Amino acid sequence: MGDISSGCNVNGGSVTGQVGRRKSCWFEEEIERDLRWCYALNGILHTGESRYQDIVLLDTKPFGKALVIDGKLQSTEIDEFIYHECLVHPALLNHHNPRTIFIMGGGEGSTAREIFRHKTVDRVVMCDIDEEVVDFCKSYLVANTEAFFDSRLQLVINDARAELEKADETFDVIVGDLADPIEDGPCYQLYTKSFYESILKPRLKEDGIFVTQAGPAGVFSHTEVFSCIYNTLRLVFKYVVPYSAHIPSYADTWGWIMASDSPFTLDYEESDSRIRQRINGENRYLDGKTFVSASLLSKAVRKSLDMETQVYTEGTAKFIYGHGACSKNSSVLE
């Protein structure tokens, strides 16, 4: 859980002082039981609470504006482009003509922003369960304002599972921009084999592609959920590609997984050609060679993924460290 510390008042936080030390305001996230990651703050820009989640927008010194939900850092303005370019562009570039896209989650708006850069896209359905988060991001994340008001966007406030269950149409690409599977969180069921098999896959067109964020993917952290989600998807789809990239503000390597019943045959030269032809503007992080590198996982992670046997089900769900609530009495340090 994330705590706001020293000099900043939020959710019951208070101030203490120690002689001889420079006062500073910090956000502290507990990554593991014995590991915490801290950010110095310029201040707290806004706090809110929905029926599902606690929401905080911070102004951090190293990473600029940072969105924190349920005490877990979601993205920062300095490096969110790495996460969102990796989530969106490989799947859309591998599809021959992506026109209709469904986003599970994505209330921040950054995923829609990157999708709308693709000239082929006609329609995007963004389905997020938490209207308060969406409204919060509309108001405070100005970089995504155009995406929220793009005429091609249909914003749906609903559980993605329920929305896909009742949908009649099929999509070229489905993007899982969901919160991490944390205990008591709102969306861990959207990582299960039954969901992928019975609800999501039937909503993909014959040559459709599914891509999802899949949690930490570092040498030690990938066994939290990344390897299990990978193993689950390879039981549902014929072709599955895991890939990863370092996200500085996450203090870890992050993972994504792309899956389809059609093979992924795009090489780096054709990727670059499609980027030039089909994407408006220039990517800051991803090009053909970068994706090739991202999909070449380390020996330790490859071996672990090959040996993974656990399937993600509601009864055997795995969670990353954390809980689905922010502390109401934040610790105070200086």
Total count of residues recorded for the chain: 334
DSSP 160: H
Nearest to 234, CA basis, from 267, 213, 258: 258
* Extended strands (E) in the chain: 2-5, 25-32, 35-49, 54-60, 64-69, 72-76, 100-105, 123-128, 153-157, 171-177, 204-216, 239-247, 252-260
Q: What pairing do the DSSP bridges indicate for beta strands 171-177 and 204-216? A: parallel
Number of Cβ atoms within 10 Å of the Cβ of 256: 27
What are the φ and ψ backbone dihedral angles of 220, each rounded to 5 degrees? -100, -30
Task: Catalytic residue, from 54, 128, 130, 177: name it.
Answer: 177
Angstrom distance (rounded) from CA 83 to CA 105: 15
Q: Which amino acid is at 231?
A: N
Pairing mode, strands 54-60 and 35-49: antiparallel
Burial of 333 (0-12, 13-18, 19+ CB in 10 A): middle
Angle between helices 268-278 and 80-94 (to 10 degrees): 100
**Catalytic (active site) residue 177:** yes
Q: Are strands 35-49 and 25-32 parallel, antiparallel or unpaired?
A: antiparallel
Active site residues: 177
